[in-house]
Amino acid sequence: MKIDILSLFPEMFEGFVNTSIIKRAIDAHLVEVHIHDFREFSNNKHKKVDDYPYGGGQGMVLMCQPILDCLKSIVTSESLVILMSPQGRTLNQTYSQELSLEKHLIIICGHYEGFDERIRDYVDVELSIGDYVLTGGELASMVVCDSIIRLIEGSIKEESHEDDSFSSGLLEYPQYTRPFEYDGNTVPDVLMSGHHENIRKWRLKQSLLKTYRKRPDLLIKKELNEEEQKILQEIKEND
């Protein structure tokens, strides 16, 4: 996969592309990440990229020309162009999985008070990471990239993300490691039993219990199998 990010602040990505799983995926040639400073594409002698909005209003608006000239220099028939915007569809695990199968993503990061509406004509998807506003799209684009890159085959062990919260439509079950006892709290006995089927059933019940208590809205969307329905009914009766 190739990911191109258009930003006014490429330095913000230095730590992101040189740390942890992202760096390992890049070093293993599983993904290419390129950051483009679209200020360099400005045809203004002062490299100006924004201007006052027509009709008046607060703040400055990003101009079409620098962003679109930058975009046109890298876009291909295989590109999916994403605009980070609080008006876009909200990112979730299912969509991250879909995006991880794309060959080429181009992500545009806005800034200031917004961008010229005509930029939307060149975009395939508007994407948001939540119902709030950031000073720019850089942090949001990193969230999107992180959620995608970890799903690319070879980035991490497949089993490591198969049980992630939301991957199965449920929240993840509790996890424990050494020591067995800390401050009077011990690891559940079933996890020490070595009985894989009992452990599986315990984890499934804990996932359903967490989801029922913390995110019941997810249960409305999920098609439960017979085993899950039975466990959920027991949870409701005993909660």
For the segment 8-31, what is each residue's pLDDT rounded down to a tens digit? 999 999 999 999 999 999 999 999
Instruction: Confirm whether 188 is a catalytic residue.
Output: no
In sequence order, the 6+-apart residues with CB closer than 8 A to the CB of 22 are 16, 33, 145, 146, 149
Alpha-carbon distance 200 to 191, whole Å? 10
Q: Which of 10, 86, 116, 228 is catalytic?
A: 86
pTM, two decimal places? 0.88
C-alpha–C-alpha distance, residues 30 and 156, integer Å: 11
pLDDT digits (tens, 9 = 90+) for 90-131: 999 999 999 999 999 999 999 877 899 999 999 999 999 999
pLDDT tens-place string over residues 40-51: 999 999 999 999
150 flagged as catalytic: yes
Q: Is 203 a catalytic residue?
A: no
- Catalytic member of 37, 69, 113, 163: 113
Catalytic residue among 37, 69, 126, 164: 164
- Which is nearest to 154 in space by CA: 100, 208, 113, 107? 100
pLDDT in tens, 179-231: 999 999 999 999 999 999 999 999 999 999 999 999 999 999 899 999 999 99
Q: In terms of pLDDT, which residue wins out, 160 or 36?
A: 36
Q: pLDDT-based confidence at 160, cuts 50/70/90? A: low
86 is catalytic: yes
